[in-house]
């Protein structure tokens, strides 16, 4: 399956049981909610997926399960966030073996690589796989900016096809389009900037709160691309207090609490993360419940 890199791609959370095992039944429930809402692909093993605390065996089970349940309807994409090129190459090989159809790649973890090292890292993995790749550019959280100059060199790799744009600078969409045209698909990776970047020409949205609110997320995307901006704005303004949960250090706990309240998830996280307690939990819970209680009626966005 080729990947169009357009539309909504949920960065799915990993569901755990109370005994800290993978909860595949709950994951399946959430996955089906995403597919019913009309998402265009799913991403596993990202920040929201708590990939840094998953074992390789758990990643394998999760990817194979998702591939089976998606049944070719949408591509399953595995995130690679590793500290060494050797391990990144191993993960890319596993992705093929497990049935994933694409990769999302962060720069090297735990080491701030320079221009040459960053480009070499991405090129080495790209040259070793036929899977299509989306570069995850998030210098705010991961301290390495994948610059326009780097993308100019990465353009030589035909399977580096897209970028998850998380620089927090909406003008970067225009800079990328001006320099590269349609060479790279651009997917907004920051929930609170999604509509702005879609209006500026972004091709898709790697979303977080979609995990709890899939229909509203896809509706905004479809309506914007159909030119129905006023309808999209109405939903986006309702959504904003919830979307702001995506830009906090505890986004995993916040979004998992939202999934729980929406009836398609649980609060269980894997240590060292801990579930929310006290005033913080009450504050986040109020934002979520206020959003649920005022949830807007949606137009027939799937036929927009």
Domain ranges of the chain: 7-303
pLDDT, tens only, 206-237: 999 999 999 999 999 999 999 999 999 999 99
Q: Which long-range contacts (CB under 8 A, 24 or more apart) does 173-179 make?
A: 173/197, 173/200, 173/201, 173/202, 174/200, 174/201, 175/148, 176/148, 176/151, 177/201, 179/148, 179/151, 179/152
Q: Identify the pLDDT of residue 2.
A: 79
Which of these, 32, 34, 27, 25, lies nearest to 208 by C-alpha position?
A: 34
pLDDT, tens only, 235-292: 999 999 999 999 999 999 999 999 999 999 999 999 999 999 999 999 999 999 999 9
With a cut of 60, say whether residue 1 has pLDDT above it. no
Q: Per CATH, is 7-303 categorized as 3.40.1210.10?
A: no
- Largest Cα separation within the chain, whole Å, is 52
Mean pLDDT over the full length of the chain: 97
pLDDT, tens only, 80-132: 999 999 999 999 999 999 999 999 999 999 899 999 999 999 999 999 999 99
Q: Identify the pLDDT of residue 151.
A: 98
pLDDT, tens only, 150-190: 999 999 999 999 999 999 999 999 999 999 999 999 999 99
What is the pTM for the complete model shown? Answer: 0.97
- CA separation for the pair 285, 283 (Å, rounded): 5
- CA separation for the pair 195, 190 (Å, rounded): 10
């Amino acid at each position: 399956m080729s990947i169009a890199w357009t539309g909504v791609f949920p960065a799915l959370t990993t569901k755990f049981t109370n005994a800290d095992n993978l909860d595949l039944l709950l994951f399946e429930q959430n996955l089906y909610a995403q597919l019913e809402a009309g998402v265009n692909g799913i991403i596993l093993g990202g920040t929201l997926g708590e990939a840094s605390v998953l074992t390789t065996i758990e990643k394998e089970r999760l990817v194979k399960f998702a591939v089976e349940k998606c049944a070719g309807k949408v591509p399953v994409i595995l995130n690679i966030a590793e500290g060494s090129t050797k391990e990144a190459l191993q993960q890319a090989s596993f992705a093929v073996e497990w049935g994933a159809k694409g990769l999302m790649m962060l720069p090297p973890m735990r080491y701030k690589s320079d221009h040459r090292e960053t480009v070499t890292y991405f090129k080495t993995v790209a040259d070793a796989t036929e899977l299509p790749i989306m570069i995850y550019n998030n210098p705010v959280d991961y301290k390495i900016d994948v610059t326009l100059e780097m993308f100019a060199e990465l353009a030589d790799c035909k399977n580096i096809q897209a970028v998850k744009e998380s620089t927090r600078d909406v003008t970067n969409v225009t800079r990328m389009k001006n320099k590269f045209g349609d060479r790279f698909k651009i997917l907004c990776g920051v929930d609170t900037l999604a509509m702005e970047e879609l209006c500026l020409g972004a091709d898709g949205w790697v979303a977080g709160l979609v995990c709890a609110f899939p229909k509203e997320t896809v509706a905004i995307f479809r309506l914007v691309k159909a030119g129905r901006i006023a309808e999209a704005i109405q939903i986006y303004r309702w959504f904003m207090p919830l979307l702001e949960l995506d830009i906090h250090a505890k986004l995993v706990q916040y979004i998992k609490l939202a999934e729980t309240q929406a009836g398609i998830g649980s609060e269980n996280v894997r240590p060292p993360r801990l579930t929310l307690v006290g005033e913080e939990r009450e504050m986040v819970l109020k934002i979520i419940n206020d959003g649920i209680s005022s949830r807007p009626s949606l137009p027939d966005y799937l036929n927009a």
